[in-house]
Homo-oligomer: A and B are copies of this chain.
Amino acid sequence: MARWEPGARERLVLAAVDLFTEQGYDATTVAQIAEQAGVTRSTFFRYFPDKRDLLVAGQEALSRLLAEGITEAPPGATPLEAVAAGLERAASTMGPMNRELGPRLKAAVAASAELQERDALKSVGLAAAMTSALVARGVPDPIAHLAAELGVLAFKRAYAEWSDADRDTAGEFAPYVLAALDELRAASASLG
């Protein structure tokens, strides 16, 4: 079992994104990331199976939180209310580091086809986690799938906005993601 090292994971993520942005994703090695984070290569591999997975480090935790929030929403909650509960649960773990990583992650992903693919698969995974949690609540399939997709869209749109906001006034992520979900709910009434 790996010994708990506070902050090593976060240091690795920051170091990696800095290096990806400075010198490109392909040119960056695991050894460089570990060195910049002040840890050994074997510590790197305790946290991440490979360089690419590092960029979606939080995906499993995020999926779990989204699903938990949906599962524990009140029995009478509508599908979108359950999704909102999932988003709020996930938002509670998004701190200043997540916010400040946003623009750098965006730049790194924009510059690499491989990271774009990994990022796209991340969205599919988040949608699948939310769909399953909704179906387990008894939401029928097409509605569950659609509600989950709205949740993913809300998360992505809110994350972009929050990351771009002024550091001193950005505040918490939760209001952004709930507002984005509301906006999409309103948009769905205008689809025709």
Q: Could you tell me which A residues sit within 8 Å of B by CB distance?
A: 77-81, 116-118, 120-121, 123-124, 140, 142-143, 145-147, 149-150, 153, 157, 183-188, 190-192
Contacts and interface: CB of A to CB of B under 8 A. Distances in A.
Given A78-B192, A191-B79, A184 B142 contact: yes
Copies in the complex: 2
A146 B184 contact: yes
A157 B149 CA distance: 14
A140 B116 CA distance: 25
17 contacts: A81-B192, A116-B124, A117-B117, A117-B118, A120-B120, A123-B124, A142-B157, A142-B184, A142-B186, A143-B187, A143-B190, A145-B157, A146-B187, A146-B188, A147-B191, A185-B191, A188-B188
Given A80-B191, A149-B149, A150-B191, A183 B142 contact: yes
Taking chain A's interface residues, is the majority helix, strand, or loop, or is none over half, making it mixed? helix
A147 to B, nearest CB: 6
B190 A79 contact: yes
A65 B185 CA distance: 28
B80 A146 contact: no
A153 B149 contact: yes
A133 to B, nearest CB: 15
